[in-house]
Structure 1
Amino acid sequence: MSAQGSDNKKALRTAATVLLLRDRSGGMEIFMVQRHHEIEFASGALVFPGGSLDPDDHVIAADAALVPDRFGLDVETVAIRVAGVRETFEESGILLARGKGSSAIIPAAQLADIEPLRVALDEGKISFADILRQHALTPAIDLLVPFAHWITPVNMPKRFDTHFLLTLAPDDHVGKHDGRESVDSLWLSPREALDGAESGRFTLPFPTVRNLTKLDKLGTAKAALEFARATPVVTVLPEVTKLEDGGRQLRIPREAGYDGEVFEFRGR
């Protein structure tokens, strides 16, 4: 392996992104946050909650007391879903967890006592494992359904191996940005997000656009979950080519189901 190839491999960080869905009278809505403009990655963009795995996610995944049922998943896959639960809590205040021995997600009344710990968790003053132990909770990893898998193109300064996970948001969990990494949050339909990008209201990363487009075609949160459960995920590692006019061409696998194989971008 070349030195450059080795560097790219070392730079790849595993991440989890959670698409929180709900159905309303007007159709599917998805929870999204606007990243702070001073954040290094995706600054100012409208994105789904998510982030890189922490060592603590693997500790939780391997602890049978915290995750008593792995649903036949290996520890790494469980850690990715634990990261999704943790990041969702940090960035939205929604906690996809159950009380020990319960089949139901914790109610909003119980969440109200836990939600203030978001800041301490983000600052590293408390671990997610500690929160789960103190409140006798287990992450609801079975409710997170794989929807997409994107890997940042090679030669990018920051590279992520990102797993997009789909789930229904608990009815009584409101959802609100953290005011630190994200400065705004909203529930909106996939079409509203895409139209906002077209008008210049929102900035959307390319993978976000493609996944919103796929969700928009599915119509409802229920249909999206049924699709995700029945459809194998195809990994997307875009191949980037610089064009003579200064634009870029991205090539992705057609079988990934994103309505195309080659996409071109002009300008910034």
Structure 2
Amino acid sequence: MSNSGNEALDTVPIRRAASVLMLRENSQGLEVFVQHRVSTMDFAAGMVVYPGGRVDPKDSDSVTTGSFDDAMLAAHAQRWANTAAWDQGEALAPQKSGEVLAAALREVFEETGLRLEAHQLVPWANWVTPVGFPRRFDTYFFVAALADGQDPLHQTTEAVRSQWAKPEDLFAGLERGELKMMRPTQRTLLDAMALGSLDAILADQSVIQSVHPDPQDSHSSHPVRATEIAKPRP
């Protein structure tokens, strides 16, 4: 039996992407802005996701033209120290960190009409799609606390609807089988919920590790295992 199909999947390029957990807090707790993906999409079809998408060449231009403060890029690079942002060394890490930051800002604007400020985006997590998927992404997750008057809209054709939702309600719907969420979405949201408040989320300085998940757990909230964490760079 030929294994050419598996070999083809093993050579799928890994594309960088950015995704943003836009959060707000009221008297009843945290809410997160999510999108319900169209069921015919070629990636994450029918899933509940955060706004985001692939890094484009234009995102590199945003960095090289000085759109971001150098100190901010250096700080982001340090937060991404255990990810592929450092694959070409420390000198290029701020540039690569700026590119995913630019992608996050651009995608949020394109999909919701909201222009976030760069300082609102806080590095949160990094997940890499495992071998065996027809599309693979090295996704950089950010959290962003929305200020009064910052109101994202539903304006993407990739989703059937967008909404503010309580995380507890999303997980209840997941348990009832009413919606679907991929494991990175579940884990990044559960980790935010565990901190309890928006202030605690923004202040969190936990080490961000690049997660290479077991594909058999791709639609579960299982905790990240040591075997799924990339080896730290020297």
- TM-score normalised according to structure 1 size: 0.69
For residues 207 and 167 of structure 1, the distance between their equivalents in structure 2, rounded to whole angstroms, comes to 17
Gaps of 5+ in 2: 75-93, 227-234
* Alignment partner, residue 12 of structure 1: 14
With a CA cutoff of 8 Å and minimum separation of 6, indicate the structure with the bigger relative contact order.
2
* Alignment partner, residue 225 of structure 2: 261
For residues 128 and 116 of structure 2, the distance between their equivalents in structure 1, rounded to whole angstroms, comes to 25
* Alignment partner, residue 106 of structure 2: 86
Q: 1:28-61, CA deviations, whole angstroms, 9 ceiling, x for partnerless residues?
A: 1111011112221111111011110010000111
Deviation at 1:239, TM superposition (A): 2.9
Select between 212-221 and 3-12 the one with higher mean Cα deviation: 3-12
The DSSP-based 3-state class of the residue aligned with 1:148 is strand
Query: 2:113 is aligned with what amino acid?
Result: G
For residues 177 and 9 of structure 1, the distance between their equivalents in structure 2, rounded to whole angstroms, comes to 35
Are 1:231 and 2:206 an aligned pair? yes
For residues 43 and 50 of structure 1, the distance between their equivalents in structure 2, rounded to whole angstroms, comes to 14
* Alignment partner, residue 67 of structure 1: 68
Match of 1:196 among 159, 167, 173: 173
For residues 52 and 179 of structure 1, the distance between their equivalents in structure 2, rounded to whole angstroms, comes to 15
How has the CA–CA distance of structure 1 residues 186 and 237 changed in structure 2, closer, same or farther, with 3 Å as cutoff?
same
Any runs of at least 4 consecutive aligned residues in structure 1 with deviations exceeding 2 A, and if so which? 3-10, 66-73, 258-262
Computed over aligned residues only, the root mean square deviation of the Cα atoms, in angstroms, reads: 2.5
* Alignment partner, residue 119 of structure 1: none
* Alignment partner, residue 121 of structure 2: 144
* Alignment partner, residue 131 of structure 1: none
Answer with 1 or 2: which has the greater Rg.
Answer: 1
* Alignment partner, residue 78 of structure 2: none
Query: Percent of counterpart pairs with the same letter?
Result: 33
Q: Is the 8 A contact 1:14 1:160 kept in 2?
A: yes
Matches within 5 A, 1:1-268: 8=10, 11-64=13-66, 66-69=67-70, 71-73=72-74, 74-97=94-117, 140=118, 142-227=119-204, 230-240=205-215, 248=216, 259=223, 261=225
Gaps of 5+ in 1: 98-139, 241-247, 251-257, 263-268
For residues 150 and 188 of structure 2, the distance between their equivalents in structure 1, rounded to whole angstroms, comes to 24
* Alignment partner, residue 114 of structure 1: none
